[in-house]
Structure 1
Amino acid sequence: MLQAIARVGRWGRVALTQLSLWSLCAIVVLMVVDVVGRKLFDRPLLGGVELVEQLLLVSVYAAIPLVSRARGHINIELFDTFVPARLQSWRHALGEAFCGVLMVACAWLVAHHAVDTHQNGDTTTLLRISLWPLEALVAVLLLMDGLSHFVAMREEPEGAVA
């Protein structure tokens, strides 16, 4: 069972990395095409800004679970000196649980908003791209981040005294 979870975790990291990477590559290509169109042909890329906004959303939210799993967030150690060494693992678990609950709640709110957006038929202004699929993707990515925090609860904190 743990091996299956590890395989899914590895696959998930690869998939999220590729999603974020290719989104950034597409943003760069769109920006180059837009700038060349503006400067050389006096014709900007129609809807380029909308596409870049959507791709930036995908790139940022695909990277959030990766950063959380790698413990790449900024840590402010205000209370670490007040917590005895023997309670560090509890503090770590509570912090991860809090972040996990917060991210799952955010995922639920975004998913609820995606349903509303789908029912209202909301689209982008110029290209009329439906907004709900990207909002649903963001909800899934936030849920993945929340679950990664729950997995991290069981791990030893960095610098913990065993």
Structure 2
Amino acid sequence: MTDEAAVKKPRGLAHSTTVGWAVRVLTVLSSVSLVLLLVATFAGVVMRYVFGTPILGSNEIIQLVSVALVMLAMPVAAQHEDHIRVDVMDGVIGAWGRFVGDLLARAIAAFLLYRLALRAWAKLKDAAEFGDATNMLAIPLWPFYGLIVLGSVLYAVVLVLQFVDVLRTGANRNE
């Protein structure tokens, strides 16, 4: 069953073709990360408890794949506005309060993601320069810092475009 209001809803700048393709690519990569995480976890459990031989470095693999999974899935959650919201005060603050809250939330989040991307970029350069790697399997860490940068930047771009959409159209009326 489809919701007619959702189908006819104007999509805004955050759903533009370029951003949409970038989000789709990261979503596919995030899905691949999820499959890898499930396979690694399943294989680790079977090897440990059935065969009595744990996989060397399985925790490192699971931790690094988890970074990829989360950072690559964030932009699509922002684009589709699937993140958690608490609307306890909506009735009290009214449409203007919700409008200001939507703008503030997106501006603060975009700024914090920008700062996260800058810090992760600096860590990426350091990790690449010094050859930082995990302890057991010696997996290089710089690509995972790159995923943090990529996910944070695209998430911030989506938030900025949503900020512009909120300025243009006002607060969501159907929440």
Structure 1 unaligned spans of 5+: none
Q: Distance in 1 between matches of 2:89 and 2:79?
A: 22
2:172 maps to 158
Q: 1:31 to 1:92 in 2, by over 3 A?
A: closer
Higher relative contact order (CA 8 A, sep 6+): 2
Aligned residue type for 2:164? R
**Does 1:45 find its partner at 2:45?**
no
Structure 2 unaligned spans of 5+: 1-11
- Greater shift, 140-149 or 110-119, is seen at 110-119
**Does 1:110 find its partner at 2:124?**
no
Give me the TM-score of the superposition, normalised by structure 1.
0.84
- Greater shift, 118-127 or 90-99, is seen at 90-99
Q: Distance in 1 between matches of 2:105 and 2:46?
A: 48
Aligned residue type for 1:149? L
The one-character-per-residue Cα deviations of 1:54-97 (angstroms, maximum 9, x if unpaired) are 11110011111111112222223466455453564344233312
Give me the TM-score of the superposition, normalised by structure 2.
0.78
Taking every aligned residue pair, what percent have the same amino acid on both sides?
23
Q: Report how many aligned residue pairs link the two structures.
A: 159
Match of 2:41 among 31, 41, 48: 31
Q: 1:123 to 1:84 in 2, by over 3 A?
A: same
| Aligned residues of 2:134 and 2:141 also touching (Cα < 8 A) | yes
2:141 maps to 131
